[in-house]
Structure 1
Amino acid sequence: MAYQIDYAYTCHTGKVRANNEDNFWCCGVRLPVHNQGVDGILAGHTQHWQLPVLAVFDGMGGESCGEMAASAAVEALGGFYEENRKSLKKEPVDFLTGACENMNDAVCRYSRENRINSMGTTMALLSFSEKAIYACNLGDSRIYRHFQGKLQQISTDHVIGGKMLGKAPLTQYLGFQEENMTLEPSIVEIGYQAGSSYLLCSDGVTDMLSDDEIQSVLNGTGTAEEKVSELLEQALSKGGRDNVTMVLAQISGCEEKNPLKRWAERYSTGR
């Protein structure tokens, strides 16, 4: 069985913030360092055997440090993916841990070189190997799985527990100085199921919408593009207090390609 991945994504500054500190990686597409998000909803499709990676980043830090952290992480992910994507076939967990270390080093290096004491970014990432899907996250940007009308959070919120005023401090993120603690990304393996979908989003979505509201949208029969559009509209209508970034991937089954044709496609794309 082959699996097609139809994905849609957006990044919006929101209704309160003047700048955008979020970023994303969608099969090679990303935002420049300084940006005001994207116009509308972007979409595409790919197959699981092409080993795609989708990710959302939510930068942290004042005076443009957040967008610099997110951009440094995205650049590092792109470089690491191009050099190591073949390892997604046989060693997907090693790929993910290596990618996290590489991204963390990039953010920490930028912080040291520019003498910035406080900067970092969350990361929520979905990678596709030939046999399974892997969800990986650091921080509080979330990954949800939706299947047969049920929504399940499969990422881990890396935050300090307990009740407190304001946002709870993060216990894990990119830009983590490892001389203090160890970088420990959450990694979850999920088998392929046609009809399942995955939502990656920054807290600009989850601070505005409840899980029930997200589930209600994903229960619809529309395209990935239509569902992302509806989620964005609802998040903005609830106040849009933060930057809003999300990627939705819908999985469908399809007939396996002729092996020779599949090999030719891989060869032509260098994969």
Structure 2
Amino acid sequence: MTLNQIVDTYITYFDKVKWILIGCLAVLLVILLVHLIVSGKKRKTEGTSSVSEKPAKSQYMDNGRFRIEIGNVQGTGEREEQQDAFAFSPSSKWKDKGFLAVLCDGMGGLDSGAAISNKLVSDIIAEFPYSFEKLKDGWILDALSNEIFQNYAGRGGTTLIITYLKDDKMWFASVGDSDLLLLRNGRIYAMNTRQEYGNTLLMRAAEGAVSVDQALLNSDAAALTEFMGAKHTNPDYSIVPWQVMDNDVYLLCSDGISDTLSFEEIREAMTHDPSECAELLEKAIIQKSRRYQDNYTAIIFAVHKIGGNS
């Protein structure tokens, strides 16, 4: 073989190797591009996007006297994880046992907020049904709070709002700053009291111990005075159940909704059916485009008397 033939052979060999390498690089680039696209979609769904999955369509249950129409919405906001949790009792138990809705907002900045809120919701639903007598003094919630305290050594917690409708009577309990709102005859009512330091100061202001300005402008006004996960907790609750009325609309929500939207914005959304209300609440939150938007969750249910005006 001559020198020229040897050179030509090596040139041909390296030319083939070059195209093989180019082909491999092209395949690697395609794989990398696909990975980036998939990762981008995952971040959009699970990360800090303000957009949640489409709110659930209304569900219905009835006990022969009332029909309950239920909607819900949940979003992560600008947080890294979802620490809110919610559930309602299964429709199979509604006729005989009543309807229970529960919502928890795991405390941001503390350990295991998401785990605690989800477990508490699961535990409450698992123990359903309850009697009003068993619920009315709040000892069940105090026991659950102490259990969280023991399991997490006081390093985690959650708020709680719970409603229980049986026959035509409604009962509630709340711990922390999640809200229970009622729309009745076009007017909105706050049914529970937020357990925040600012409200404690306002009560002291009413007694003349501090000024109203001191109460309203205190830098710790939003700090929780009660939460599930404390060694002992004192829930806000209805001493006696109240009678529901035809076309009452109830909304349980975390402060990611009630701190972002005004009462009037929430009231207007509640004039629509529960599933549409859920969509309107989320749309309003997204339009606010708050930089530090918290997790947001709402359960909306309307009570319609069967045979009455719906």
CA contact (8 A) 1:92 1:129 kept: no
Tell me how many residue pairs correspond in the alignment: 224
CA contact (8 A) 2:71 2:300 kept: yes
Counterparts of 1:63 and 1:137 in 2: how far apart (Å)? 20
Counterparts of 1:48 and 1:127 in 2: how far apart (Å)? 13
> Any runs of at least 4 consecutive aligned residues in structure 1 with deviations exceeding 6 A, and if so which?
none
Counterparts of 2:89 and 2:143 in 1: how far apart (Å)? 18
| 1:1-271 superposed matches below 5 A | 2-14=65-77, 16-27=78-89, 47=94, 49-62=96-109, 65-81=112-128, 85=129, 87-88=131-132, 91=133, 93-94=135-136, 97-112=138-153, 117-161=154-198, 162=215, 163-165=217-219, 168-178=222-232, 183-188=233-238, 189-220=241-272, 223-239=273-289, 241-254=293-306
Unaligned 5+ runs, structure 1: 29-43, 257-271
Counterparts of 1:104 and 1:228 in 2: how far apart (Å)? 30
The AA in structure 1 aligned to 2:176 is: G
CA apart distance, 1:167: 6.3
What does the per-residue CA deviation read over 1:201-253, in whole Å, with 9 as the maximum and x for residues that have no partner? Answer: 00000111000111111223xx2111111111111221250001000010000
Q: CA 1:172/1:48 → structure 2, altered by over 3 Å: closer, same or farther?
A: farther
Unaligned 5+ runs, structure 2: 1-63, 199-214
Instruction: Please state which structure has a larger fraction of its residues in helix.
Output: 2
Q: CA 1:167/1:57 → structure 2, altered by over 3 Å: closer, same or farther?
A: farther
Counterparts of 1:200 and 1:166 in 2: how far apart (Å)? 24
TM-score by length of 2: 0.66
CA contact (8 A) 2:110 2:156 kept: no
Structure number with greater Rg is: 2
Counterparts of 2:131 and 2:306 in 1: how far apart (Å)? 24
Helix, strand or coil: the match of 1:121?
coil
CA apart distance, 1:195: 0.7
Q: CA 1:98/1:6 → structure 2, altered by over 3 Å: closer, same or farther?
A: farther
Helix, strand or coil: the match of 1:228?
helix
What does the per-residue CA deviation read over 1:28-75, in whole Å, with 9 as the maximum and x for residues that have no partner? Answer: 5xxxxxxxxxxxxxxx89856541110110001436521122123113
Counterparts of 2:188 and 2:134 in 1: how far apart (Å)? 25
Q: CA 1:46/1:255 → structure 2, altered by over 3 Å: closer, same or farther?
A: farther
CA contact (8 A) 1:80 1:102 kept: no
Higher relative contact order (CA 8 A, sep 6+): 1
Q: CA 1:61/1:110 → structure 2, altered by over 3 Å: closer, same or farther?
A: farther
Counterparts of 2:298 and 2:227 in 1: how far apart (Å)? 18
Q: CA 1:130/1:77 → structure 2, altered by over 3 Å: closer, same or farther?
A: same
CA contact (8 A) 2:85 2:118 kept: yes
What corresponds to 2:3 in structure 1?
none
Q: CA 1:133/1:65 → structure 2, altered by over 3 Å: closer, same or farther?
A: same
CA contact (8 A) 1:2 1:48 kept: no
RMSD: 2.5
The AA in structure 1 aligned to 2:245 is: Q
Instruction: Please state which structure has a larger fraction of its residues in strand.
Output: 1
CA apart distance, 1:152: 0.3
Counterparts of 2:190 and 2:92 in 1: how far apart (Å)? 23
What corresponds to 1:269 in structure 2?
none
